[in-house]
Structure 1
Amino acid sequence: MLAALAVLAGCSASGEPEAAPTTSATPTETATPTPPPTAEPVPRPEADACYDLTYDEVVAPVADDQETVRCNRAHTSQTFRVGRIDNLVEGHLLAVDSDRVQDAVAETCTDRLRDAVGATTEQLRLSVLRAVWFTPTLEESDAGADWYRCDVVATEGADGLASVKGSLRDVLADQAGRDRLGMCGTAAPDADGFSRVPCRDDHSWRAVSVVELEPGDYPGQGAVADAAEEPCRSLAESRADDPLDYEWGFEGPDKQQWRAGQTFVRCWLPD
Structure 2
Amino acid sequence: MEARMARTGRRLRRTSPAAFAAVVLALLAASCSNATPDEPAEDAPVVIETPRADACRVLEPQDAAASSNERDVVDCTEEHTARTFVVDEFPPAFADAAYDDTRLGEHVYGVCDEAFAKVVGGDESARLRSLLSWVWFRPQADAWEAGARWFRCDVVGGTDTAETYRPLPADLDKILDTQPDEWMACVQGPQVAGAPRVPCSEPHNWRAATTIKLGKAGDDYPGDRLAEVRTRDFCRTSISAWLDYPDSYEFGFTWFGQAEWEVGNRRSICWAKIDR
TM-score w.r.t. length of structure 2: 0.69
Pairing 1:21-40 to 2, within 5 Å after superposition:
none
Name the CA shift for 1:94/1:157 in 2 (closer, same or farther; >3 Å): closer
Q: Which runs of 5+ in 2 are unaligned?
A: 1-16, 22-36, 39-43
Pairing 1:244-263 to 2, within 5 Å after superposition:
244-254=247-257, 258=261, 261-263=264-266
Pair 1:174 & 2:174 matched: no
2:157 is paired with a residue whose SS is: strand
Whichever residue aligns with residue 130 of structure 1, its letter is S
State the structure with bigger RCO (CA 8 A, min sep 6), 1 or 2.
2
Pair 1:160 & 2:168 matched: no
Moved more, 138-147 or 72-81: 138-147
Q: Percent identity, please.
A: 28
Q: Which runs of 5+ in 1 are unaligned?
A: 10-40
Structure 2 equivalent of residue 217 of structure 1 = 221
Pairing 1:1-271 to 2, within 5 Å after superposition:
8-9=45-46, 42-64=48-70, 66-86=71-91, 88-89=92-93, 93-95=95-97, 97-99=99-101, 100-141=103-144, 145-156=148-159, 158=161, 160-167=163-170, 168-176=172-180, 179-187=181-189, 189=191, 194-214=195-215, 215-221=219-225, 223-240=226-243, 243-254=246-257, 258=261, 261-271=264-274
d(CA) in 2 for partners of 1:228 and 1:46? 40
d(CA) in 1 for partners of 2:82 and 2:119? 13
Contact 1:210 1:267 in 2 (8 A): yes
Moved more, 166-175 or 54-63: 166-175
Whichever residue aligns with residue 73 of structure 2, its letter is T
Name the CA shift for 1:265/1:115 in 2 (closer, same or farther; >3 Å): same
Larger Rg: 1
Shift of residue 236, structure 1, vs aligned partner: 3.1
1:139 is paired with a residue whose SS is: helix
Question: How many matched pairs?
Answer: 232
Contact 1:74 1:163 in 2 (8 A): no
Higher helix share: 2
Q: Which runs of 4+ in 1 moved over 6 A?
A: none
Q: Deviations over 1:181-229 (max 9, x none)?
A: 11211235456x63323323432111111111144234333x3343234
